[in-house]
Amino acid sequence: MFCHAATGLTIVLFKLLLNIKMKYISSEKFKELRETLKELKENRKEISKQIQEAQERGDISESAEYAEAKESQAFNEGRIKELEQLLGEAVIISKDRKCDKAEVGCRIIVKNSEAKKEFILVGSEEADPLSGKISNESPLGRAFLGKEKGDEVIVHTPSGKVHYKILEIK
Cα–Cα distance between 150 and 104 in angstroms, integer? 18
**Position with higher pLDDT, 11 vs 4:** 11
The residues, any chain, with a CB within 8 Å of residue 128's CB and separated by 6 or more, are none
Low-confidence winner among 10-24, 80-94, 121-135 (lowest mean pLDDT): 10-24
Q: 122, 107, 116, 120: which is closest to 165 by C-alpha? A: 116
pLDDT at 48 > cutoff 80: yes
13: pLDDT strictly greater than 60: no
Give the separation between CA 163 and CA 170, rounded to whole angstroms: 20
H-run or E-run covering 99: none
pTM for the whole structure = 0.68
Beta carbons within 8 Å of 38's beta carbon, 6+ residues apart: none
- What percentage of residues in the chain have a pLDDT greater than 90? 51
Radius of gyration of the chain (CA): 22
Specify the length of the chain in residues: 170
Whole-angstrom CA distances from 164 to 68, 84, 118, 150 are 51, 37, 11, 10
Q: Which residues contact 119 (CB under 8 A, 6 or more apart)?
A: 107, 108, 110, 132, 133, 134, 140, 144
Q: How confident is the model at residue 168 (pLDDT cuts 50, 70, 90)?
A: very high
Spell out the domains of the chain, with CATH numbers in brackets. Answer: 2-93 (1.10.287.180), 107-169 (3.10.50.30)
pLDDT at 40: 96
- Answer yes or no: is pLDDT of 1 > 60: no
Task: Please indicate whether residue 142 or residue 94 has the higher confidence score (pLDDT).
Answer: 142
